[in-house]
Amino acid sequence: MDVISVIRTKRDKGELSPEQIDWVIDAYTRGEVADEQMSALAMAILLNGMNRDEIARWTAAMIASGERMDFSSLSRPTADKHSTGGVGDKITLPLAPLVAACGAAVPQLSGRGLGHTGGTLDKLESIPGWRALLSNEEMLHVLDTTGAVICAAGDGLAPADKKLYALRDVTGTVEAIPLIASSIMSKKIAEGTGSLVLDVKVGTGAFMKNIEDARELASTMVALGTDSGVKTVALLTDMSTPLGLTAGNALEVRESVEVLAGGGPADVVELTIALAREMLDAAGVKDADPAKALADGSAMDVWRRMIAAQGGDPDATLPVAREQHVVTAPSSGVLTRLDAYDIGIAAWRLGAGRARKEDPVQAGAGVELHAKPGDTVTAGQPLLTLHTDTPEKFDYALKSLEGAWDIAAAGTAFTPNPIVLDRIA
């Protein structure tokens, strides 16, 4: 085997053989295949796709690159959730403790930001002292004692994906459906969860811009999970507008705590409860009411224990960016569009995301929304507040917001998209 032949096969729209796939994943994990060579292969996959057999074999090779975890010692069933990424998508933060408060164990392996979408680990690391990196023993202990854990995949879990995940972020290959499906499912299958709910985002702020592509991705992942013995279901959810009123790291943690306290934006609460119900059903937990667990404080109790168990201080003051810039509404009327992608790019440019895989992120950077589509606005009122530690980034972020919203005449009727667009099982 040689990597040039593998790249040429996919470049020329051929089907990779099982032997080619096994070899290139193993060789890349060992460092025999260089980043620039895997970048070329990833771009060829993005442009020319993979069939179901190739995706299944690629996923199996990613799993085989490392270890598999086992949660059979736990006293309660396991349920995990994965989002394909969106703007303002902080759902994992209130969701994991909520499902745990209802009786399932949630081993939530999460990632960092990809492109314009935020990363759960980046958000949680804005909490002073909180650790994303846990050993397998630490992860199992936190899960057993609190009911939920949110952490990074260990070095031994699908190490091929860990390398490729970071590479995709900086080579323009994030959107490749085969690579998204295999990345997500290799980690989730190797993780050992008994059931999995997938939140597949659809819209301008998602990697899947149209519902047909989202259905293809969801169906591919549901099939991969089901064939591996993991009960898997997917919800297609709207990402044309940012979720909630914040996009950024500490900003989204603060909003998540508001949800756990019984408040928070209605769309975040609605999606959190919808996903919680799917997770509990998949895990076989009956007669639990997620809405009640939010209202009575039991989900907040799990959150506090979970954060403390990973070294974080749930009472600590969250970082705040040193500089703010307010963007005002240019006219009066009804806000009918606020583009999720443009908001995500602005947050990324302000420092909430990274351009290179080794770049740090700013904990306080991001965008705060003061209105959502359907709201009536007045000319001159605050529409957005930009947050960053580096004010020279404001002009760059503002360029991404040109054309990011539409304001119609006062009294214009507006019907929002439903949060949940479809369900695939």
Catalytic residue set:
82, 161, 168, 183, 187
The pairing of strands 106-110 and 148-152 is parallel
The token pair at 272 is 């959190």
The pairing of strands 195-202 and 80-83 is parallel
